[in-house]
Structure 1
């Protein structure tokens, strides 16, 4: 019976593994804001056909980030979210036009360099970063997510210079990435991708992810601010270096 609910080519054991991975990655992202989406992308890359990875990943991330946004909604800074969303609308429209035209290596390399720079290079105080910067960053990150899927570290790096309190940072990041992935799923639907066969598996992954979000949120409340910021920088560094590695292969 379980096999009937699964997409063609996905064995039951692989499906159960993806459901478990969804719990772990959602817990990590709820606690640290980043990393989970990238790990989930890697898990999908080893389990599902290449042509559906980005679209299915986007649908899973909508559910995961939506649950995180709900749980942490009281701390989200909505004016920042609104500016990011305006930029994202432009980014998804442009990405839909070029989704099959640009080389992935170039985008991976640029994303890796940006993440490393935002994590470790001291940023000057620039007037308007919270407004214009989020508009541009929303457009650029949403454009890139159409090609490489997991741009959560990009969005996190974009928010870091604003010196938000840890709960504000995680909650605002959650809402921004929810909107970004939702726009991506909508765009892939317009481009002809059929999500119907994947809905039962994705629904199970989303439920598992929500349980992980609740567990990760409890960890966030107990995590000292200093260790929180250090962990984010270390994760950003690992992700950035891995993106450069993939760009050079």
Structure 2
């Protein structure tokens, strides 16, 4: 019971971190998830929690979605996400934990280097495939997806809603594969619902906190925590 309470607190904190630092919350939650529920259920749980958050963003800005870049991105992202999710279900779990660790380190390095892209249809197709595959394998590749859609120079609401639309579609495809390939047990959905509520509350708290915190230093702190966590996952598997 204490572990599950810690998991809900972690979900709240992860959403608050994403809401204030702009990245890192989902990846920081992964090690806690793998410790409490095991790697087999960790990524599917993270997928459901992220699905809830992104659906709210889609609903908020539905009229501003830019469908052409969204559909270009998804044309490669959806099959890649299904492939990544299938690989996740099939590969040895110790290998997957180490893969998550390496992915976190790469995302942190890209974030600290100020990841940017030049917009083009080719970027959307190639980027969609990479983001989809990584999302299926390690649960989250939001940093790369965000960088790709930021390069399109969309208005703020259009950017948020369009990127969230791609995330919702990928999470749904991943969930279909996870549900078919992994036995998640009877306790999965109650925990997923509780985590979703905790993350909604955390998102609200993060948006409030960003008004009071030195954001640059906070982002560096989160990047450091992610790097330490990633190294631990790589070493221990």
> What TM-score comes out, normalization by structure 1 length?
0.70
Secondary structure (helix, strand or coil) at the match of 2:37 reads: coil
Assess if the C-alpha contact under 8 Å between 1:35 and 1:235 holds in 2.
Answer: no
What's 1:3 paired with? none
- After the TM superposition, which residues 1-249 of structure 1 pair with which residues of structure 2 at under 5 Å, given as runs? 11=1, 13-71=2-60, 73=62, 76-99=65-88, 100-101=90-91, 104=96, 105=98, 109=102, 112-113=105-106, 116-117=109-110, 120=113, 126=118, 128=120, 131-164=121-154, 167-194=157-184, 196-217=186-207, 234=220, 238=224, 241=227, 245=231, 249=235
Assess if the C-alpha contact under 8 Å between 1:41 and 1:150 holds in 2.
Answer: no
- Write the distance in 2 (CA, Å) between the matches of 1:111 and 1:25: 15
Query: Aligned pair in 2 of structure 1 residues 240, 136: CA closer, same or farther (>3 Å)?
Result: farther
Query: Aligned pair in 2 of structure 1 residues 164, 234: CA closer, same or farther (>3 Å)?
Result: farther
Query: Aligned pair in 2 of structure 1 residues 243, 213: CA closer, same or farther (>3 Å)?
Result: closer
How far residue 90 of structure 1 moved from its aligned partner, in angstroms, is 1.6
Assess if the C-alpha contact under 8 Å between 2:127 and 2:148 holds in 1.
Answer: yes
How far residue 37 of structure 1 moved from its aligned partner, in angstroms, is 0.7
**CA RMSD, 1 decimal:** 3.7
> What TM-score comes out, normalization by structure 2 length?
0.73
- Write the distance in 1 (CA, Å) between the matches of 2:222 and 2:115: 15
- Runs of 5+ unmatched residues, structure 2: none
- Runs of 5+ unmatched residues, structure 1: 1-10
Secondary structure (helix, strand or coil) at the match of 1:46 reads: helix
Deviations 1:80-128 (A, max 9, x none): 33332222212023224533348545675467446634652675x7461
Query: Aligned pair in 2 of structure 1 residues 59, 111: CA closer, same or farther (>3 Å)?
Result: same
Assess if the C-alpha contact under 8 Å between 2:27 and 2:104 holds in 1.
Answer: no
Query: Aligned pair in 2 of structure 1 residues 82, 200: CA closer, same or farther (>3 Å)?
Result: same
Secondary structure (helix, strand or coil) at the match of 2:151 reads: helix
Assess if the C-alpha contact under 8 Å between 2:103 and 2:138 holds in 1.
Answer: no
Aligned length: 231
Assess if the C-alpha contact under 8 Å between 2:107 and 2:143 holds in 1.
Answer: no
How far residue 163 of structure 1 moved from its aligned partner, in angstroms, is 4.1
How far residue 199 of structure 1 moved from its aligned partner, in angstroms, is 0.7
- Write the distance in 1 (CA, Å) between the matches of 2:153 and 2:82: 30
- Write the distance in 2 (CA, Å) between the matches of 1:174 and 1:56: 18
Query: Aligned pair in 2 of structure 1 residues 51, 97: CA closer, same or farther (>3 Å)?
Result: closer
